[in-house]
Amino acid sequence: MDSRESAAFSAETYFATQPAPPSLDHDRASVRDFVLRQTDLGNKVVLVTSGGTTVPLERNMVRYLDNFSAGTRGATSAEYFLKAGYAVIFMHRQFSLQPFSRHYSHSTNPFLDFLEIEHKPSASASALTTPEITVTPEKRADLLSVLTAYKTVQREGTLLTLSFVTVNDYLWLLRAVSEELSEMRRNAMYYLAAAVSDFFLPRQKMSEHKIQSGKGSLHIEMDQVPKILKPMVDEWTREGFIVSFKLETDPQLLLPKCRQALKRYGHQVVIGNDLNRRKFEVVFVSTNNGTLSESWLRLSEDLHTREIEEDIVDELVRRHQAWTNIKQ
Ligand code: PMT
């Protein structure tokens, strides 16, 4: 794959040539209903994108390229936005982490390990004992707190969950959700934490069936995914507060890339994070009256129980409030 030779699709060409996912109309309708309901309730709404997108190599897909992301940033942030009183549209990669259930991920904290089977004695000595499921005592307080927050959100209907798998699903869904959410104008925030593929294979160039081995090495030329932040800022959202993330692995590149993104797209905030330090430090890059401003948010290393997303969300809620106060 050689990025120098790949073609650049405009967003317009992309949507004119690539097929919409079958669930798009249904998802759009559910977002429309959600936005109407939250508007009636006077809630602000944030769209949180989370997890990585895939790029299929075949139409009958056996193989695909994936983007790194467990969905931790998005799922954790969604919880803090809900806690701050926002309604949340959580647009995530299918099977990546989700708000609340993330605390009991099957690999790091399997929920079955929290449960005990107790055999309660029956009233009559001859009858069989009835097994009951209980929670391990030392895990109860944490579980109760997560469960209480989860049940409150369910009762209040403030969380709408949508999923994508491929970069194509993601782009179509992002446009549809943004257009519906733009009805809320300044009361909408867009928090783009998903890790989006930069290159893809247009449907027209994809092999229909499984690519056969036996011909030696495989050469694939991929096209560039259109940079959707541009149409998002200029066309899909009206006065919304847009926050994008920038992931780098070379610390020297992080700030220049954040500044470049802000200049190029003209949105409100770029949050820069280094792959290996992303759980402890991020940098907010924005403009204030035309002047570039950069501020680091850091967790001290001894604060292992605090999640950096709590501080990120606090700061964004404050900035969004200031944004909604600006006279239109
Ligand atoms: O889920 P975790 O494991 O916790 O990891 C979280 C994270 C590191 C993935 C997250 O914090 C993060 O940095 N997400 C953005 C990663 C990314 O895709 O960076 P990028 O440089 O490719 O894109 C930068 C921005 O441009 C993104 O906000 C993206 O929405 C946007 N973009 C990307 C591709 C594209 N074609 N058009 C875009 O507009």
Give pLDDT tens digits for 144-157. 999 999 999 999 99
CA–CA gap between residue 43 and residue 11 (Å, rounded): 31
What pLDDT is stored for residue 120 in this prediction?
Answer: 77
pLDDT in tens, 238-291: 899 999 999 999 999 999 999 999 999 999 999 999 999 999 999 999 998 889
pLDDT in tens, 157-198: 999 999 999 999 999 999 999 999 999 999 999 999 999 999
Structure tokens at 222: 């991929």
Choosing from 68, 244, 271, 282 the residue with most ligand 1 atoms within 8 A of its CB, the one to mutate for a pocket test is: 244
Give span(s): CATH 3.40.50.10300, the chain: 3-99+153-239
CA proximity to 279, closest of 73, 88, 129, 108: 73
Q: Whose CA is nearest to atom 20 of ligand 1?
A: 246
Backbone phi and psi for residue 293, each to the nearest 5 degrees, phi listed first: -125, 140
Burial of 180 (0-12, 13-18, 19+ CB in 10 A): buried
Ligand 1 mean position to 242 CA, how many Å? 13
Question: How many residues are recorded in the chain?
Answer: 328
What pLDDT is stored for residue 129 in this prediction?
Answer: 76
Ligand 1 mean position to 15 CA, how many Å? 21
What pLDDT is stored for residue 304 in this prediction?
Answer: 67
Ligand 1 mean position to 127 CA, how many Å? 60
CATH for 244-328 is 3.30.505.10
What pLDDT is stored for residue 3 in this prediction?
Answer: 44
Torsion angle defined by CA atoms of residues 11, 16, 19 and 22, in that order, rounded to the nearest 10 degrees: 90
Give span(s): CATH 3.30.505.10, the chain: 244-328
Q: Whose CA is nearest to atom 16 of ligand 1?
A: 195
Q: Is the pLDDT of residue 1 over 70?
A: no
Rg of the chain, C-alpha, whole Å: 23
CA–CA gap between residue 110 and residue 148 (Å, rounded): 19
Pick 3-99+153-239's CATH classification: 3.40.50.300, 3.40.50.150, 1.25.40.10, 3.40.50.10300.
3.40.50.10300
What pLDDT is stored for residue 174 in this prediction?
Answer: 98
Ligand 1 mean position to 129 CA, how many Å? 54
Choosing from 80, 190, 247 the residue with most ligand 1 atoms within 8 A of its CB, the one to mutate for a pocket test is: 247
Q: Is the pLDDT of residue 128 over 90?
A: no
